[in-house]
Structure 1
Amino acid sequence: MANYNNLTMKGSGENKKNSYLHKLIRNGNIHKIKLMLPSIKDINEKNDQGYPPLLYACEQENNDEMLELLLEQENIDPLAQESIEKQNVLHILAFKGKLFWIVKVFEKFPDLPVDTVTIDGNTPLIMAAKMDHIDVIEYLHRKGANINHTNEKKYTPLHYAAINGYPISTKRLLELGANIDARDDRKCTPLMKTCSWNFLEICKILVYNAADIDAQDSLGNTSLAQAVKRGYTEVVKFLLQAGANPNITSKDNYNNIFTPLISACKLNNIVLVKILIEKGCDVNYPGNDYSEALFQCIRVGFYDGVLELLKAGVDLCGRNPRNRKTPLEQAIKFNQDDIASLIQENL
């Protein structure tokens, strides 16, 4: 029988060092795979991207018969099934939601580590959480997977469920013991992440399960601040109704200080301005010297915002600490004639 181990293939205009078995797997040629398997010297030989045949087969569509054939081979080494990204068969099968084959792998290799990590620190359970494969999450958890494992970004499976808007996965992960206030590398909790993506249902699930609604990230942003900055009205309403503090301050990358109201004024968002004022946002922050919300309105020509701030008792006599101008002088400087007239009428 022919020796196929040293054959290579070419494709897409570049040389690809693949065994003939890899080529057959890619083409789905089951008949030839069956014929050549008895002659294979190294069933774990990798191609140029680090994929041994079993891992390569996991990547293919309609691969059930191929996987069955390869798993029957006595010398298959699950610890060798690792690509250059350090993914093994469990990572790929979990990402694809192939529970049946994950079970088969563990039946053949009962001592296979369930929390093996990729080069980015992802476990199979994290891969399943990224794609909302609840049955895989549950099975891996039963096999002992760490429900709170963090990858290189410090994301947990719950972070991925929250970021991607998966309500059932979010609930199940919490039931399985996920840390609801886990912090990523920027100190963001799953609640902050889901509010950044406007997933109201996930926001409600997390808040109703006692997530820290006023937790702050590395810049001081709360979940409310994240939602306001992106103009997510319904999320903002819910968070305020649930008791979020509207006066917690945060910073931007230039060290400027914001409250949610200041952010809403900067965005020229009258709906959010009204909601935040109604819920007790301090219109005169930082107080004493000046109202940053008022000066933000003046900068962007936000007449309706100024009007709402006036109704709420904003101080018109403070001075901008950067140039010592009053609100009226600032409005004149920026040629905001309507705002200047409105301020003058209320002095």
Structure 2
Amino acid sequence: MGAPVEAADKDKRRPLHLACDKGHFPCARLLVNAGADVNARTADGETPFLIAAGMNHVEILRLLAQSGADISLADANDWSPLHFATDRGHTSSVACLLEMGAPMEVADKDKLRPLHLACDKGHFPCARLLVNAGADVNARTADGDTPFLIAAGLNHVEILRLLAQSGADISLADGE
């Protein structure tokens, strides 16, 4: 008799969530093969796929996607896998997610999209991947900020150049 693959702690984290968090590919594969729910949610709404994206575990992302994980599920704050990967500057995960067709124009409760996060954190490689994949360079947050305004406010010059060269309207004022 084996251990139950769907046992959960008080935060509803299951063994597969933990394997994805720590990057233990052999454990993740074993759990998936044993029938673990690849779309199981924690108390915060995180799925194994979201966790793997945020921790830059590309091999696990591929395993989960091949095993039927829904790559578009967001957490309780409406953060998508691309939000997590971009926010943390995980270029490999961003590239993998874009290859898989993960939605890139999803917005959280504040209308922040992954490109806004790349501009805020100064993650140029992630910004370049998103822009090259067709991200809306003029998308506005709930506060009316565009990616260009965010990058300008934080003096991320390399990103400003990228956005300007990619058709961003540099004359757009914020919502105030």
TM range (shorter): over 0.9
Shift in Å, 1:128: 0.6
CA distance in 2, matches of 1:175, 1:247: 32
| Equivalent residue for 2:32, pick from 106, 115, 132 | 106
TM-score by length of 1: 0.49
1:184 aligned partner, one-letter code: D
**Residue equivalent to 1:84:** 10
**Match of residue 93, structure 1, among 13, 19, 22:** 19
1:166 maps to: 90
Q: Deviations over 1:204-224 (max 9, x none)?
A: 111111111101111111101
Pairing 1:1-347 to 2, within 5 Å after superposition: 74=1, 76-79=3-6, 81-107=7-33, 109-110=34-35, 112-251=36-175, 257=176
What amino acid maps onto 1:83 in structure 2?
Answer: D
Per the alignment, in what secondary structure is the counterpart of residue 26 of structure 2?
Answer: helix
Distance in 2 separating the partners of 1:242 and 1:117? 37
Cα deviation code 1:147-170 (max 9, x no counterpart): 111001111111111111111211
Shift of residue 247, structure 1, vs aligned partner: 2.0
Percent identity reads: 27
- Deviation at 1:75? 5.4
Q: Is the 8 A contact 2:32 2:38 kept in 1?
A: no
Q: TM-score, normalised by structure 2?
A: 0.95
Q: Unpaired segments of 5 or more residues in structure 1?
A: 1-73, 252-256, 258-347
Tell me by how many angstroms 1:104 deviates.
1.4
- Deviation of the 1:233 alpha carbon: 1.5
Q: Distance in 1 between matches of 2:123 and 2:31?
A: 35
> For residue 158 of structure 1, what is the amino acid of its counterpart?
L
Shift of 1:115: 0.5
1:116-153: CA deviation from partner (whole Å, max 9, x where unpaired): 00111000011111110000000000111111110011
Listed one character per residue, the Cα deviations across residues 220-254 of structure 1 (whole Å, up to 9, x for unaligned) are 11101111111212211221121110122223xxx
The total of aligned residue pairs comes to 176
Cα distance in 2 between the residues matched to 1:93 and 1:201: 27
Distance across 2 between alignment mates of 1:185 and 1:213: 19
Mapped partners of 2:154, 2:47: distance in 1: 31
How far did residue 106 of structure 1 move?
2.5
Structure 2: distance between partners of 1:139 and 1:75: 22
Alpha carbons of structure 1 residues 124 and 191: separation in structure 2 relative to 1, 3 Å: same
In structure 2, list runs of 5 or more residues that go unmatched.
none
Query: Which of structures 1 and 2 has the larger relative contact order (alpha carbons within 8 angstroms, sep 6+)?
Result: 2
- 1:103 deviates by 1.3
The root-mean-square deviation of aligned C-alpha atoms, in Å, is 1.2
| Offset, 1:114 | 0.9
- Mapped to 2, the partners of 1:104 and 1:241 lie a distance apart of 46
1:37-63: CA deviations, max 9, x gaps? xxxxxxxxxxxxxxxxxxxxxxxxxxx
